[in-house]
């Protein structure tokens, strides 16, 4: 009973309901166990170690959410940020994954500090609302594009830069995963993305896409995190590039987490009479500690998952729901062989659907106001065309400031935005 009291359970629901809610949330977000190692492995990181780091960081952060904030919200390495980690920081900027992990580690420490000193609101308020929505939507488009590219559905072309690729076993399985994911989501199947990944991985076996190792066993002891544990490199951490990267990581983590907390708690009727998220400081602290720990064991930024709404829909109202999710993430450590043989084609549907869900923020942009719509459009479009989330953010913010300054509306721009614009211009000049 002391454990139940620790996570805020006081009989307002039933233990059975909370457990079912936890299982529902886990199934809905467990696709991250297949997707995150697949994305981060493209940096050269050990895939088995990343899987273990993914499960451990998700378990710890979700446990902290249960005992500190007592909310039915689960956490894991964040989609979007893992793409930023791999395709922008490592591949586009040429930074080693060790240095990128160091940036995530510093981001986590900074996030702990700004949470402790209650200055997160000042950072949030400094960024125009339209750009916040645009960044979320742009990341969704970028994630979807990555899924299509990795599956060979979209390929390079010297004349047109990109084109539709030739259909083969890999791309056909990827198209199937997109359609299956969409159909299951429309039918409101709990854990739709998880089931889609597993089904497509199984279908991929006779197609020759899913490669099973000899003497395959679905159960094993957890893989070691030694290849990624504390593999930090501080050599480049004081450069302008890294300063911008760390800011971008904090920015994405902050807005993703706050947005998720507001959306999910509102859905569950958990906000107070003033519309405030209960124990938001503790919730953000769970996120920050999870990110710091995740970097130590070898994964990108940890954040709150909007998929937690599925568990709340099943009646989850307390930290007991999160406690169940944390336990299931620990249990998944023993089923690593299943997740590690899943090919990229089988996860394309999950990436694509996540992108679809993230563009839902576009209607929140004032599209009838060109001063709002243009910077938002620049942000979204340039993320995809430059293959860089950071460049999209930089160009979008700069266009916002330039428009305000040259139309006499310079007072609408915060001091923080002006300072950032100077840093961004220096970044573009220096290259």
| pLDDT, tens only, 324-360 | 999 999 999 998 888 888 887 887 887 788 788 778 7
Predicted confidence band of residue 122 (pLDDT cuts 50, 70, 90): low
Please tell me the predicted confidence (pLDDT) of residue 136. 73
Res 121: pLDDT: 56
Per DSSP, the three-state class of 11 is: coil
Smallest Cα–Cα separation from 378: which of 355, 399, 364?
Answer: 399
Contact 345, 171 (CB under 8 A): yes
Q: Say how many C-beta atoms besides its own lie within 10 A of residue 331's C-beta.
A: 12
Q: Is the pLDDT of residue 104 over 80?
A: yes
CA distances from 318 to 91, 256, 261, 431 (A): 41, 21, 14, 48
Confidence of residue 419 (pLDDT cuts 50, 70, 90): confident
Under the banding of pLDDT at 50, 70 and 90, the label for residue 6 is confident
| Among the listed residues 9, 228, 252, 209, the one whose alpha carbon sits nearest the alpha carbon of residue 107 | 252
What whole-number distance in Å separates Cα of residue 393 and Cα of residue 396?
5
| CB contact at 8 A, 374 and 403 | yes
Comparing 100-109, 138-147, 247-256, 281-290, the range with the smallest average pLDDT is 247-256
Beta bridge partners of residue 163, listed in sequence order: 155
Whether residue 232 contacts residue 98, with contact meaning beta carbons closer than 8 Å, is answered with yes
HSE-up of residue 208 (Cα within 13 Å, Cβ side): 2
**pTM of the entire structure?**
0.75
Average confidence score pLDDT of the chain: 84
For residue 124, pLDDT over 60 is answered with no
C-alpha 15, offset from chain centre: 30
């Amino acid at each position: 009973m002391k454990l139940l009291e620790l996570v805020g359970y006081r009989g307002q629901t039933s233990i059975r309901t909370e457990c079912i809610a936890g299982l529902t949330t886990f199934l809905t977000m467990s696709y991250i166990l297949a997707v995150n190692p697949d994305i981060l492995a493209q940096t050269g990181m050990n895939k088995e170690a990343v899987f273990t780091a993914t499960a451990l960081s998700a378990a710890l952060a979700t446990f902290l959410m249960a005992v500190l904030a007592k909310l039915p919200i689960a956490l894991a390495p964040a989609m979007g940020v893992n793409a930023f980690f791999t395709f922008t920081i490592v591949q586009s900027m040429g930074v080693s994954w060790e240095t990128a992990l160091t940036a995530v580690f510093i981001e986590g420490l900074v996030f702990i500090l700004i949470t402790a000193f209650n200055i997160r609101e000042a950072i949030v308020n400094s960024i125009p609302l339209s750009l916040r929505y645009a960044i979320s939507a742009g990341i969704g488009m970028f994630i979807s594009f990555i899924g299509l590219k990795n599956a060979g559905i979209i390929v390079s072309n010297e004349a047109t830069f990109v084109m539709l690729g030739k259909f083969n076993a890999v791309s056909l399985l990827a198209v199937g995963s997109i359609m299956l994911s969409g159909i299951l989501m429309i039918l409101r199947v709990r854990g739709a993305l998880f089931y889609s990944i597993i089904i497509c991985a199984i279908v991929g076996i006779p197609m020759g896409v899913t490669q099973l190792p000899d003497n395959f066993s679905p159960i094993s002891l957890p893989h070691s995190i030694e290849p990624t544990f504390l593999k930090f490199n501080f050599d480049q951490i004081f450069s302008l590039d890294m300063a911008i990267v760390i800011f971008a990581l904090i920015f994405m983590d902050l807005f993703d987490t706050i947005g998720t907390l507001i959306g999910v708690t509102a859905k569950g009727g958990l906000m107070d009479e003033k519309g405030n998220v209960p124990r938001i400081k503790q919730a953000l602290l769970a996120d920050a500690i999870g990110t710091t720990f995740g970097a130590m064991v070898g994964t990108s930024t940890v954040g709150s998952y909007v998929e937690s709404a599925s568990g709340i829909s099943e009646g989850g109202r307390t930290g007991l729901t999160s406690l169940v999710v944390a336990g299931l993430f620990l249990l998944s450590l023993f089923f690593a062989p299943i997740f590690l043989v899943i090919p990229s084609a089988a996860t394309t549907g999950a990436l694509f659907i996540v992108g679809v869900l993230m563009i839902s923020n576009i209607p929140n942009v004032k599209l009838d106001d060109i001063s709002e719509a243009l910077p938002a459009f620049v942000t979204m479009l340039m993320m995809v065309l430059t293959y860089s989330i950071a460049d999209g953010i930089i160009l979008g913010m700069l266009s916002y400031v330039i428009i305000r300054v040259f139309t006499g509306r310079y007072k609408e721009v915060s001091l923080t935005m002006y300072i950032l614009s100077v840093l961004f211009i220096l970044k573009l000049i220096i290259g």
